Chains A and B, each alone.
Chain A
Amino acid sequence: MTALLRVNGMSLSLSAVRLLSEISFQVAAGEVIAILGPNGAGKSSLIKCLNRIFPEAQGQILLEGRPLAAFTQRQIAARIGYAPQRFAPIFSYSVRQFVELGTFSGAELAEGQRRTGVDQAIEICGIQHLGQRDMASLSGGELQLVLLAGALVGNPRLLLLDEPTTFLDPAFQLRVLSILKTLRDRTEGQTAVIMATHDINLALELSSRVIGLSQGRVSFDCTPREILNGDLLTSLYQSKFSRVSVPGRECGFIVPVA
């Protein structure tokens, strides 16, 4: 399978602090990759290197076989959607306005096409009823769905999601999960997803591969099944975990044990 994104020996230092070291992995079209790791492991930094929010990253990042530096920022945005972990708007954007801002990378498209793209993203995330609401008035869960919709505009080939379910109640977590599954179905498995997450069960349920990140280094890169069979999580988080069997769920549930 041709790699949509290939990362070779990527490192990142900011203000003389080493955040990432010798990161290597690749992503094929349609793959869902979860990045697990304790707080401060470098998950968000890794995500931000992949769409050049952190241009300081050293090493090789190839998108569609070409170095990331060969793309303009607008070309990158047309291919890679991004939903941040947090967003506190200063100005009173409405939800629709915010999602529409995602059409900047598709400036060459006709107005109608761009509007359709916005409508589709809003529909996939099920936030039609929030269209005219002020972003600042949204709950944490609603905000996360809006951020996801903003990332989906323009049908990017790769989605970067930075902790998409953090701070969400179980109902919203399930909605995010459902949206990602819908997206997978609609794009016939063509849209790849890389998500940084603390939610081990979401990672096991949705992803085809899991990358463990510890102190800025890749500690493992394996399938969800391989995680279940070893002590990878224990060594990653320095905590014990137990697996609870649940009917109809192959991976069961992973819970931390005191």
Chain B
Amino acid sequence: MWFYCAGGLMIAKPHHALLWILAVSMGALLVAPFLGMQSISPVAALGAGLPETLAQILYSIRIPRCLLAYLAGGALALGGLVLQALFQNLLASPFTLGVASGAAFGTALYFTLGFNFAILGVGGGSIFGIGGAVVTIVPIFLLARRRLSPTEVLLAGVVLSMFFSSLVMFIQYLSDYTGILRITRWLMGGFDVVGYQAVLGIAPFTILGALVVQSNSARLNLMALGDDLATARGVNVRRVKPLLILAVSLMIGAVVSFCGPISSVGIMAPHICRLLVGLDHRRLIVATFAGGGALVLVCDTLARTVIAPYEIPVGVITALLEGPFFLWLLYARRWARTEVLA
């Protein structure tokens, strides 16, 4: 049977669900640039009939913004998926483990100190963001190696997250009025860019990180069982785990440095995709990246259209979705335990 009913929802079978997620995701990516305060006709865009102003809006603002939102969403979602498997914790995400807060602190520090440099084409903001992410995740990783329970690891992440959030607040306190506004707005998350610099800034890290994760998909299946069983079944956990943590740090650090710490995606997208395509990371990684990208893209499109000409920070919308999502998840997991068995 092509469809089965679960918890009142009609869900496609896992391999079909992946195709649906990819199709919806690509559809969102194709449609979103044409939506906004000023609607743009795709037909006119494909022909030569687009006025210069609209062409500039489409090619210099909308398309880069949509690509940035998609890549950022995919990276944040994938980061959550990997951390949940590595730490065997359903609540693990770049936020709950403090990685995003660490990256935010690194980037805020870069801005506040007035640095402006790049190394090998990589902006200083990204370098500081990635550095902040690494500084946060390394203690978590070392604690996890001391065989702490998933709850204890999560608690350590929450504490680190609070610590780095406090440091960001301290930086804000020391900043002038403009700096405070700038950091506050950036912390709410957003993709307000012109041109492709930001897209090109995060694309290499996101793509590299995603490739590293995908190439370890079979290992992630086992690591989600715990380090002991993964080792016993043939995974070199001591080598693979740091590699995956580095890949996540690269992705999250780069995304946060450009787009701010956008919350909730790293929790919501992996859980939704797990329910739809099952637990096999060989499918789940692709689904989560595409699903997370689409989720943030849709949120951003809502952010810039709902009360246009004003704009809602995208982080506000994703955070608003988190509460209802968890209520739904509690309900959905009841049937997931018995029915989503790919």
Q: Which residues of A contact B (CB under 8 A)?
A: 15, 48, 51-53, 55, 72-78, 80, 82, 84, 87, 89-94, 96-98, 101-102, 104-105, 107, 132, 134, 136-137, 150, 160
Contacts and interface: CB of A to CB of B under 8 A. Distances in A.
A90 B88 contact: yes
B334 to A, nearest CB: 11
Given A55-B238, A77-B233, A80-B232, 15 more contacts: A51-B231, A51-B232, A73-B236, A74-B236, A77-B232, A82-B232, A84-B228, A90-B89, A90-B224, A94-B341, A98-B225, A104-B222, A105-B234, A134-B341, A137-B338
Interface string B228-257: 110111111010000000000000000000
B279 A91 contact: yes
A235 to B, nearest CB: 31
Interface residues of B, number: 32
B279 A53 contact: no
Interface of B: 88-90, 146, 150, 218-219, 221-222, 224-229, 231-236, 238, 274, 279-280, 333, 336-338, 340-342
A19 to B, nearest CB: 13
Contacts of B233: 77, 82, 101-102, 104-105, 150
A91 B234 contact: no
Contacts of A78: 234
A73 B235 contact: yes
Given A15-B146, A73-B236, A91-B279, A97 B341 contact: yes
B236 A72 contact: yes
Nearest to A136: B337
A92 B337 contact: yes
B173 to A, nearest CB: 40
B304 to A, nearest CB: 36
Given A101-B225, A132-B341, A136-B337, A93 B279 contact: yes
Given A55-B238, A74-B234, A90 B222 contact: no
Nearest to A55: B238
A197 B235 CA distance: 26
Given A53-B228, A91-B274, A101-B222, A73 B340 contact: no
Given A55-B238, A90-B224, A101-B222, A73 B338 contact: no
B268 to A, nearest CB: 17
Contacts of A94: 341
A23 B336 CA distance: 46
Contacts of A80: 232
B234 A76 contact: yes
